[in-house]
Amino acid sequence: MHLCLKCKGKLLCDRKKCLFSVDGRVDIKDLEATPPSVFVGRFGYPKVFVGPVLTPDENPEVFDSPWMWNSIEEVVKLRMKVARGIKLMRVESASSPDGYLSRIQEAVASIRHVGVEVEGNLVKRPEIDPIAKPAGLSVEIKNFELEENPRIPAKVEKVYSDDLPAKEAVFELYKKGFSDYYIQKLFSAGMLGLMKKRKLVPTRWSITAVHDMIAERLRDRIADYRETGEFLLYEYEHFGNRFSIIICPGNFFKLVEIWRKGAVWSESDWIGCDEEIVRKKKYSVLSGGYYAAKLPAMEYLNRNRRKAGVVVLREITPDYTAPLGVWVVEEGVRKALSGHAKSFDSLDEAIKNAAVKVPERVEKWIRTKQNTLLDFC
């Protein structure tokens, strides 16, 4: 377990100030808005904590929009002002939501922030998670009311009203142009799926589930496209994460993670690898980061109408000083693949020219397309 999870602000890392320190002067009256967002916990499942994400009323959307963030310090500063509402509920309550949950669902489905009135007790405890975005406070909700009418798209209302399986509902919204971030929140709030089977989904589970559902549907489409004959290298770096992405002939997806000593989760150098050639049946050994990398890779292939092999090399450097969530991977791969590519004559050349350098044994694994990774990881 990472030191931050044990420490919670006691400065066991020898820093002078904790990146996740919470300002005890925060007043619950300052939490006047909620961007389209929800928090659903996972501990105690199927009885979990559920609540709106609460922010100050100044540019609320910025607090929950990863594509707008530029530095670790900025992210931490913003997210430590965010509070997660908590009220104990059974996950099955989504099939017949009460007034509290209905108001949360309306706020989540809104395409802009909603002013709120909240009564409750502040719990000064930062939430640190390797998959979800960090948050500074929790609020034990006593009363939660919306102060204005949410703006909910007609397409979302239709999908909510239709009796569609969750996978169908997720991809239907994606096809209509809604971002996976937005869909994750609807899914987490229990708004998608067959009416009588709807459940609240813990936030971190919903992130990975939506990534995987969309990516698999895109991959089904990609299987019918013409195979690429190129070897392309895309690269991007942000938040202490360096990405080198190779597009090459084939029909597979691979992620190699290289954690350098001193990075937030790593006390020593560590390499992890995972792949799929047809369809992944088991949860990845690389956790949510695998699916966060896979989705933008499949989006790229679908956009270019090409079938290809994709190798994502991710290096986590000591500059990654705070766990920010798997959106760092999703946005890193997406921005890399939206940039300019370098072209090479072979996979070997692309690997040798990548900014992310991998050991020879891992290079061998990438080239040979083996299914068993135990010899290399």
What is the value of pTM for the model shown? Answer: 0.91
Confidence of residue 364 (pLDDT cuts 50, 70, 90): confident
The answer to whether 109 touches 154, Cβ cutoff 8 Å, is: no
Mean pLDDT of the chain: 90
The phi and psi torsions of 123 (rounded to 5 degrees) equal -115, 110
Classify domain 226-368 at the CATH class level: alpha beta
The phi and psi torsions of 3 (rounded to 5 degrees) equal -55, -35
The domain limits of the chain are 15-146, 154-217, 226-368
Confidence of residue 360 (pLDDT cuts 50, 70, 90): confident
Whole-number pLDDT of residue 125 = 73
Whole-number pLDDT of residue 375 = 46
Six-digit token string for 131: 């998959």
The answer to whether 308 touches 249, Cβ cutoff 8 Å, is: yes
Distances (CA, A) of 211 to 90, 216, 304, 367: 25, 9, 19, 26
Nearest to 189 by CA among 89, 262, 283: 89
The distance in angstroms from the start CA to the end CA of the chain is 20
Whole-number pLDDT of residue 366 = 75
Residue 376 has pLDDT above 60, yes or no: no
Q: From CA 232, how far away is CA 229, in angstroms rounded?
A: 10
The phi and psi torsions of 117 (rounded to 5 degrees) equal -120, 125
Whole-number pLDDT of residue 160 = 96
The phi and psi torsions of 110 (rounded to 5 degrees) equal -65, 145
- Say which residue, 163 or 331, is predicted with more confidence: 331
Confidence of residue 368 (pLDDT cuts 50, 70, 90): low
The answer to whether 330 touches 296, Cβ cutoff 8 Å, is: yes
pLDDT tens-digit map of 172-218: 999 999 999 999 999 999 999 999 999 999 999 999 999 999 999 99
Whole-number pLDDT of residue 136 = 83
